[in-house]
Amino acid sequence: MNPKTVIKGKIHYVGVNDRNKHLFEGMWPLPYGVSYNSYLIDDETVALIDTVDICYFEVYLRKIKSIIGERPIQYLIINHMEPDHSGSIRLIKQHYPDIVIVGNKQTFGMIEGFYGVTGEQYMVKDEDFLALGHHKLRFYMTPMVHWPETMMTFDETEGVLFSGDGFGCFGTLDGGFLDTRINTDKYWDEMVRYYSNIVGKYGSPVQKALAKLGGLPISAICSTHGPVWTDNIAKVIGIYDRLSRYAADEGVVIAYGSMYGNTEQMAEAIAAELSAQGIRNIVMHNVSKSNPSYIIADIFKYRGLIIGSPTYSNQIYPEIESLLSKILVREVKGRYLGYFGSFCWAGAAVKRMGEFAEKSKFEIVGDPVEMKQAMKDITYTQCENLARAMAERLKKDR
């Protein structure tokens, strides 16, 4: 047994770090990398919980064998079928041909579809039970957190929740994997970004999962991304609870596009007046520079959102259009929205943002501001009025 892999009792961490990938899902930046977590229960019957990205299989297999040697693995429990966690299923099956795959009805359709893997299966339903010997596992279906087949596995013996992508975050595990043995500071913002980017659309299913798991005596959370949480369980659950309710702090995100600086001047005027009105949390994003990942995370943090766009080829600015699409996909709720735009000879951006406002169902604050060509005294006044309206609306919630 390798003591460096132990979580509790006979539960071991066998995950890997990916420090090479630049973008998660081809979209979301990974400045701190990402971990793919897998867990091994070395009981009378050996169980492996989730696998890792296929690129890291050799490292993964070596970790497994450092714990159990050449002994067989009886069960492979699949909580989540996304390829960064299921990618090694076929190779695990080759090395352990008698392994029984544990999953739910939706799991097995995906296993065959992705990997063509067949063989003995152990199909579970909500609250079904599996005894490994000393360890007793119970399964909880948590569909759409964030795929339809997702489930969580609770070790009733040790109080360990294997949560799949639930409670996950970006960031590699540098040296250790337990939150008690590493500096966790970087993970909190990365958790908000992970949730808002990856799980953000599924607030209602997350709330249902939290309600289902609420009575469990959880002593550790073992997600498929990020640290193993033992000391910070309440904080982690609290973050996921708050984000999935779309709760937010007082503050304003100003996201704008600007080609030659004129629309940016409007954004600066709005920000200055917000500050003058006593709003302290103001985050400005030039969409041509800020990756949408960080803008979306800030939108999940703050109640106020002000969007600005120049007209571009009789349409909204392309980077703003992309951002608005990402906001709509996530079905963010409970935000206050203001918007402004500019044009040279024919305006279209403000009209397009008005269409977004209707679709978003956000509460519209203030009058939209539309500027022709460059800033004038009237434009400054209109921008300040928009900022005052947003500040007044936010202050009503104090």
Q: Rounded to an integer, what distance in angstroms lies between the CA atom of residue 248 and that of residue 284? A: 17
Portion of the chain with pLDDT greater than 70, in percent: 99
Element (H, E) at 392: helix 377-395
Distances (CA, A) of 186 to 170, 199, 369: 9, 19, 38
Instruction: Decide if 356 contacts 321 (C-beta within 8 A).
Output: no
On the question of pLDDT at 343 being above 90, the answer is no
One-letter amino acid identity for 228? V
pLDDT tens-digit series, residues 278-306? 999 999 999 999 999 999 999 999 999 99
* 3-244 and 250-392 agree in CATH topology: no
Instruction: Decide if 33 contacts 56 (C-beta within 8 A).
Output: no
On the question of pLDDT at 1 being above 60, the answer is no
Q: Rounded to an integer, what distance in angstroms lies between the CA atom of residue 162 and that of residue 93? A: 21
DSSP string, 80-138: ---HHHHTTHHHHHHHSTTPEEEE-HHHHHHHHHHH---S-EEE--TT-EEE-SS-EEE
Instruction: Decide if 99 contacts 72 (C-beta within 8 A).
Output: yes
Name the pTM for this structure: 0.95
Which CATH superfamily groups domain 3-244? Ribonuclease Z/Hydroxyacylglutathione hydrolase-like (3.60.15.10)
Q: Mean pLDDT across the chain, nearest whole number? A: 96
Find residue 186's DSSP bridge partners. none
pLDDT tens-digit series, residues 76-85? 999 999 999 9
3-class DSSP state of 271: helix
The full set of domain ranges for the chain reads 3-244, 250-392
On the question of pLDDT at 161 being above 60, the answer is yes
Reply yes or no on domain 250-392 having CATH 3.40.50.360: yes
Predicted local distance difference test score (pLDDT) of residue 120: 87
